[in-house]
Structures are given as C-alpha cells and as structure tokens.
Amino acid sequence: MGCGATDVVAVLRAGADTVALHRVELTDLDRPIGDADHGENLNRGFAAVMSALDSAVPETPGGVLKIAASTLISKVGGAAGPLYGTAFLRAATTLGDKSELDAAAVVGALRAALAGVVARGKADVGDATMVDALASAVVAAEAAETDGIAGLLAAAADAAGTGAESTIPLIARKGRASYLGERSIGHLDPGARSTALLLRAFAEAVR
C-alpha cells in the first residue's frame, strides 16, 4: 500500500484521538515528577494540528508533517511542544517532496525525528525522557523495514512501549523531572509514554 498525504493526515488524526483519550493519564504521569500539564499540552497541540489540516490539505506527506510541526511549536508550551515539533519538522524535511512513502522513507523519517529531539533536548538514552521510547522505536523500525510500513510501525510501537517502561527505575536527567533527582525514580516518564501511545496509534491507523 502506498502512503500519500491524505494517509498521513489519517495517521495524525489517529494520534490526535489517542492523545485525547489518554489526556488525563498523561497529565497524571506528569503530576508527581513535573507540573501536571503533559496531557493538556499535547491534546491542545494535536487538536490545533487537526484543525490546521482541516483548512489546508498539503499535497505531500512532508507538507502535512510540516504543518503539524509548526502548529505544535506555536501552540504547545513547555518542553514537549518544541521537542515534538522538531521531531515532525525533521521528519518532514527528510521526506522532502515525495508524494508517496515507502517503508524506507518511514524509517528515515523516524530516524530524523529522533535526531531532531536529541539535537533540541540533548538527552541521551537512559536520561528518562521521550528519547528512551523513540530511540528504541528507531532501532526496531530499522530491523523491521522489510516488513513494510505497517509491520515496521508495529515493531516500533512495541519497542517504544518497552523503552517507555524502562524509564521507571531511572533517575531523570533532563526536563522538569530532573529537578527531583533520586525522587524521580519509580515514575514512568510522561513524554516517553506519549511517544509510545502515538506510535501505537500510527501503527494501528496504517494497519
């Protein structure tokens, strides 16, 4: 199956739906180790992305992701907006003006998204951030590229879930949670959880 601009809009809509569904959970995860706004932040951002895409449907997947990126950067305050925005922007740039995505393009987009988050936030794997979910996802997606877009996204979502869970015993080294030092141990990082949820939704939408 090809994956064009309208397919990418549908995939983002699935992401927006999952963020809305898990809004309270994500905010609750952000309460003990942050400022209890992650679910609200992302939900506001993805709702804005979908309304931006309702009025202008770009012709390429990269164009769709570029609108998502600029909307997230302008509408979501805090750490997560610029980080997710940069992820989508780097993915968009990597895709260029391709009109249909294949598995290799999707893997390249995920790799670029990770590079963008790391460039922006300077977190390493093990710092208990969304990078722990996204880096695991990229490794899995690369290994599953021959399984096609649906297969590689399913593998990426599984790995992101495991990567997110791996943040629980860690000391947070970046973001607000790092202010707590050792008291950040024992908590699932909200951004890692949202990354895993988004990738699961993307995978389900493509399937």
Element (DSSP H or E) covering residue 41: helix 38-55
* DSSP letters for 111-142: HHHHHHHHHHH-PPTTSSSHHHHHHHHHHHHH
**Quick one: 26 or 64, whose CB is closer to Mg ion?**
26
Is residue 129 a contact point for ligand ADP (CB under 6 A)? yes
**Quick one: 149 or 157, whose CB is closer to ligand ADP?**
157
Out of 18, 41, 136, 184, the residue judged to bind ligand ADP by CB under 6 A:
41
Location of structure tokens 């590229």: 145
Binding range to ligand ADP, per CB under 6 A, among 106-114, 121-129, 142-150, 197-205 = 121-129
- Exposure class string for 111-129: b at 16+ Cβ within 10 A, else e: bbbbbbbbebbebebebbb
Distance CA 83, CA 144 (A): 25
Is residue 130 a contact point for ligand ADP (CB under 6 A)? yes
Binding mask 16-35 for ligand ADP (x = CB under 6 A): --------------x---xx
**Quick one: 79 or 101, whose CB is closer to ligand ADP?**
79
Q: How far is the CB of 194 from Mg ion (least distance, A)?
A: 11
Out of 78, 126, 148, 151, the residue judged to bind ligand ADP by CB under 6 A:
78
Distance CA 60, CA 109 (A): 14
**Quick one: 71 or 194, whose CB is closer to Mg ion?**
194
Interaction partner, residue 63 (ligand ADP, Mg ion, none; CB < 5-8 Å by kind): none
Q: How far is the CB of 46 from Mg ion (least distance, A)?
A: 16
Instruction: Please name which of 71, 39, 40, 42 lies closest in space to residue 55, comparing C-alpha atoms.
Output: 71
Q: Are 69 and 77 in contact (CB under 8 A)?
A: no
Interaction partner, residue 175 (ligand ADP, Mg ion, none; CB < 5-8 Å by kind): ligand ADP
